[in-house]
Structure 1
């Protein structure tokens, strides 16, 4: 089976949408996609969705390549709508999503008082992050709107070996660091790690976590940590860069990763997530690779 350059296929998708070539786009989709929706249904909905879109922004909002599938996201020129497409190595479109994008311009423009370091060493990949639903599923929820999820990739894969073992994942067991100086206010350390890809613990969504009070009504949360790996207790004062635990797969998590957010209060469900500034001034979006020092 030939391996295609997905970028050459991807660049034609938003153009096909804005020029009404919905039939051609439908025929480029996988058999399973076409079994789920008829050509008539697809073309009708896509035409209605695009009635007020002149063009999509030329550069994709994000590109994520994992496990032989590349997912692209484009945003319309008026920022009101978005398009995502998943393309496999054969050049087949295996998924398409058209989405009306919610906007929260008042909070989107806020900036944290403190600058935060990356809470890890080495190279990590931003799997979820940004200011719309297509690049950051957290964005729909006020209490985690500006959160990030980080994983480690090697040759577009997050694991090597048995995918049912946490130890196969590159992020598992990596030290997690305090992102800013502060006082530890809450710790959970007794939740077992999940089996990757199996049942997630939705009853304890954050899993094992550490929450810190940095002052100025800014509280950071580092979640899904490894069972019995946390090295701090409430009342401890830590400096930026201090190890607070290890990356795990606890809580509402399908594979080892780090969930990181800053909120305006210490109650996870009641507090509001706030946009925060990294030390280097970088504003992360899904698909970006970052390096923690």
Structure 2
């Protein structure tokens, strides 16, 4: 079975074939009859499933996501390196149509140079875990990958990750209204810093009640200060692994306030690409 054929097999009711592609651990937890019962209940009102994203996790696993034609149900399937499923979930999908089609007045570019992968991003919670939270609903997380891996050699060193130390740049003209530069970077396989979830960050005011929140900068790498006026493309600092972060990456969202928590996220109006979502490779 090819992974992308999974949705068609489920729609056709061929649950035995799907189940046969799960690994032993999955089958020890859930019987074929139990799996069939859940899958039949999930598909009873579905006429179609739309493929959403494909995401590789450092050659260890591959994740595939589908959403049904009503936008209220979804499937997340994770295949291991032996091409067997070690997990498949049939899930309800929340949506917020009243804000999904409201974009920023400011036109933005991605806050990086080169080629980056969207790890989290999109307008449902299956492809974007931020979506459940109003203050970060339309956030994006980006990493750098080569040959489906985000690091080379020793995964326990920040310097092994391709994103670590990359230039972190202003996505649009604005004024620096918030900054933190003194949070130490986490060890990649250690414990994330949940006490300071944004880690080192820069907040930019673009006018129109639109504020960029850019997080997880490298420790003491930020080169701007509060009150500075920046232009799109100006260097802000370097990508790091500070805050609630398991590896070096960029977190970027726009909200109607400079307050990280007491604000409402706004869908970002990217130049020429407003349908950016998980699994996309973005070049700039």
Q: Which residue of 1 aligns with 2:167?
A: 175
Q: Secondary structure at the match of 2:265?
A: coil
Q: Which residue of 2 aligns with 1:67?
A: 58
State the distance in 1 between where 2:16 and 2:4 align. 17
Deviations 1:246-279 (Å, cap 9, x if unpaired)?
A: 1000111111000000001111101011101112
**Structure 1: stretches of 5+ with no match in the other structure:** 1-7
Greater mean deviation of Cα atoms: 259-268 or 80-89: 80-89
Pick from 34, 38, 51 the counterpart of residue 41 of structure 1.
34
Q: Secondary structure at the match of 1:259?
A: strand
Q: Which residue of 1 aligns with 2:130?
A: 138
Q: Which residue of 1 aligns with 2:12?
A: 19
- Is 2:256 aligned against 1:264? yes
Q: CA deviation at 1:41?
A: 2.4
Q: Which residue of 2 aligns with 1:250?
A: 242
Q: Is the 8 A contact 1:152 1:170 kept in 2?
A: yes
Q: Which residue of 2 aligns with 1:149?
A: 141
Q: Is the 8 A contact 1:277 1:283 kept in 2?
A: no
Q: Which residue of 2 aligns with 1:102?
A: 94
State the distance in 2 between where 1:55 and 1:195 align. 43
- Listed as ranges, the matches of 1:208-227 within 5 Å are 208-227=200-219
State the distance in 1 between where 2:98 and 2:148 align. 36
Q: What TM-score does the superposition give when structure 2 sets the normalisation length?
A: 0.96
Q: What TM-score does the superposition give when structure 1 sets the normalisation length?
A: 0.93
- Is 2:46 aligned against 1:53? yes
Q: Is the 8 A contact 1:9 1:91 kept in 2?
A: no
Q: Which residue of 2 aligns with 1:4?
A: none
State the distance in 2 between where 1:276 and 1:291 align. 17
Higher strand share: 2
Q: CA deviation at 1:79?
A: 1.3
Q: CA deviation at 1:38?
A: 2.9
Deviations 1:61-110 (Å, cap 9, x if unpaired)?
A: 11112322221111111111111212234321122121110010000010
